[in-house]
């Protein structure tokens, strides 16, 4: 499985397997640490003393920057937030482009959120998605949605429409 390795200190990005990342000196799960647990995510050249983990361990009073919130959101949603396809895109990242209830009323609160599909879509089972960002781009850490059971779904190109017992969701694959 290829993962997007992102150094939280210098911003360097590489698409590597876990073994390749370890051999190249990356501090990244699953070889170092666990997915979804805050720990340093660095390349071989950067010190852990400049990571979010270090700051949280050594400072009691501080406010998270936008970059630190993004790092925390990415870590809390691993491995889904860093798993990539053959083209190097995050494998299961989608934007909610429409949600309606059974009365046809739009549910605006969820539209625009970026999510990660964490399982296959199956009739009779709820669809589970992890939120990456809210519609305004604010990272959403460790928040997920479990829908009512899926009735049917349809894939059209880069769009997935999922009809559940209570609602219809339309997801568009993120580039």
Would you write out the chain's pLDDT as a tens digit for each of its 175 residues?
A: 889 999 999 999 999 999 999 999 999 999 889 998 999 999 999 999 999 999 999 987 888 888 888 888 888 878 878 888 776 666 678 899 999 998 999 999 889 998 887 667 888 988 888 887 888 888 776 677 888 999 999 988 889 999 999 999 999 988 7
Yes or no: say if 17 and 31 are a contact pair by the CB < 8 Å rule. Answer: no
pLDDT at 61: 84
Contacts of 145 (CB under 8 A, 6+ apart): 110, 115, 127, 128, 129, 131
pLDDT at res. 119 = 61
| Domain 93-173, CATH class in plain words | mainly beta
pLDDT at 89: 65
- Cα–Cα distance, 169 to 90 (Å, whole number): 20
pTM of the model: 0.65
pLDDT score recorded for residue 77 = 79
123 bridge partner residues: 150
Task: Give the model's pLDDT for residue 69.
Answer: 85
pLDDT of residue 118: 62
The answer to whether the beta carbons of residues 43 and 12 sit under 8 Å apart is: yes
pLDDT value of position 133: 82
Domain-by-domain residue ranges, the chain? 2-76, 93-173
């Amino acid at each position: 499985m290829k993962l997007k390795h992102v150094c939280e200190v210098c911003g360097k990005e590489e698409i590597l397997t876990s073994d390749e990342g370890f051999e190249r000196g990356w501090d990244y799960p699953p070889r170092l640490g666990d997915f979804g647990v805050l720990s340093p995510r660095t390349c071989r050249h950067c010190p852990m003393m400049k990571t979010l983990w270090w700051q949280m361990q050594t400072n009691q009073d501080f406010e998270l920057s936008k970059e630190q919130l993004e790092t925390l959101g990415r870590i809390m949603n691993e491995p889904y937030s860093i798993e990539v396809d053959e083209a190097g895109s995050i494998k299961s990242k989608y934007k909610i482009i429409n949600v309606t209830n059974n009365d046809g009323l739009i549910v605006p609160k969820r539209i625009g959120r970026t999510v990660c599909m964490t399982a296959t879509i199956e009739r009779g089972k709820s669809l589970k998605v992890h939120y990456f960002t809210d519609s305004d781009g604010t990272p959403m850490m460790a928040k997920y949605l479990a829908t009512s059971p899926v009735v049917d779904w349809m894939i059209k190109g880069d769009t997935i429409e999922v009809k559940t017992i209570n609602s219809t969701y339309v997801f568009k694959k993120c580039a």
